[in-house]
Amino acid sequence: MYLKKTVNYYIIQSMNIYFDNAATTMVCEEAATAALDMMRDIYGNPSSSHHMGRAAAKELNNARKIIADAVGAPDNEIYFTSGGTESVNWAVLCGVPAHFRKGNHIITSAIEHSAVLESMKQHEKAGWEVTYLHPDDNGRITANDFAAALRENTVFASIMLVNNETGAVNPIHEFSKEIKKRKLGTILHTDAVQGFGKIPFTVKSLGVELLSVSAHKLHGPKGAGALYIKNNTGIHSLLFGGEQEEKKRPGTEALPAIAGFGAATKIAIQKQEEALAAVRELREYIVRELKSRLPGIVIIGNGDSPYLLNISLPGYKSEVIMNFLDNEGICVTSGSACRKGKRSRVLEVMKLKNDIIDGAIRISFSRYSLKKEADIFINTLEKAYNNIIRF
């Protein structure tokens, strides 16, 4: 891939294979059209009472219903945010103190997104006790470990549904069952950003009170997310101002992004089963080919979610491999985009050997990923394997 710099941006020339969909996705045509319609035609403020405002409010409510139906919740339990980070921050920062009279203990995991972990640090500074669960060899938080950590004074737990580096799927429903079996009042939140629209679930099947999702991971625009809040679940507001979102999340709703979110979600749910099967087949094909061509390659995790594939070439540096692939027009990464090139915290917590961590790259797919792209990636990675000097 060659980049020609212009005054304000880069024009991508030559081949472009995008295998970094866990970081963000291409906006689908339906979402782009919906967003443009809101910007150019239905641009009223949804809180305004005139006909343009009413038209905007109708579109807002339509998007809310789509998101609600997708997670199996009533419309009035979905609240729009600016994205996954805000949804997670709101749940964790404001869900915990709402229940402080019941206890002072929180459960999370050491493999959570930074939005959760940084929020937990704030609670620790305020005197809360936080237990960080560690994953098993496949990157999952086990039901037994969760049960062992659960106490009478555990007021809140936040465990992600799908890990954003390994694709490990955590048994959230088992955590919920344990809470209910012991008749505890623990509020359960899950960061479902990497699972929404990709693997089947509902808030009922998971048994959660709070659930965070984002638009730009499933071919919607950046700048929109949502938090599911089960009715009668105590949670404070993160922001203060007007009466939008039932006074829980004030501020004029970003209707173009939200409408795009709704459109993208509708398509994703319609195509979820078909896409899941196709992506699983693609991932399995890549794994077979890489194992046969690259001696010593390590596949990290079991691929619970086929949308993520984490591999390692021990003895090589992931940054060098990524640069090699990037020069050939192939986009992958070494871990979470939010870490900006830092060593993978998730792989460290899994206690993998240093050479495995240092040689790891994350490949993440979407329903638009193609076998011909996979073949180019495999051939290019093999070329890198044979030409890059080992460390």
| Catalytic positions | 338
The conformational region for residue 301 under phi > 0 = left, psi -120 to 50 = alpha, else beta, is left
Phi, psi of 106 (to 5 degrees): -130, 145
Cα separation, 59 vs 63, in Å, equals 6
The single-letter DSSP state of residue 188 is E
User: Which residue do the tokens 């919906």 mark?
Assistant: 34
Structure tokens at 138: 């496949």
Q: Which residues pair with 169 in a beta bridge?
A: 162
- Helices (H) and strands (E) counted in the chain, each on its own, are 13, 14
Give how far Cα 140 sits from Cα of 136, 166, 262, Å. 5, 9, 30
**Between β-strands 105-109 and 129-133, what pairing exists: parallel, antiparallel or unpaired?**
parallel
Q: Do residues 162 and 195 lie in contact, with contact meaning Cβ atoms separated by under 8 Å?
A: yes
Cα separation, 110 vs 192, in Å, equals 16
**Between β-strands 210-214 and 225-229, what pairing exists: parallel, antiparallel or unpaired?**
antiparallel
Cα separation, 280 vs 270, in Å, equals 17
**Between β-strands 10-13 and 17-18, what pairing exists: parallel, antiparallel or unpaired?**
unpaired
Structure tokens at 354: 């240093």
**Between β-strands 10-13 and 2-5, what pairing exists: parallel, antiparallel or unpaired?**
antiparallel
Structure tokens at 382: 């093999």
User: Which among 184, 166, 164 has a CA at the least distance from the CA of 175?
Assistant: 184
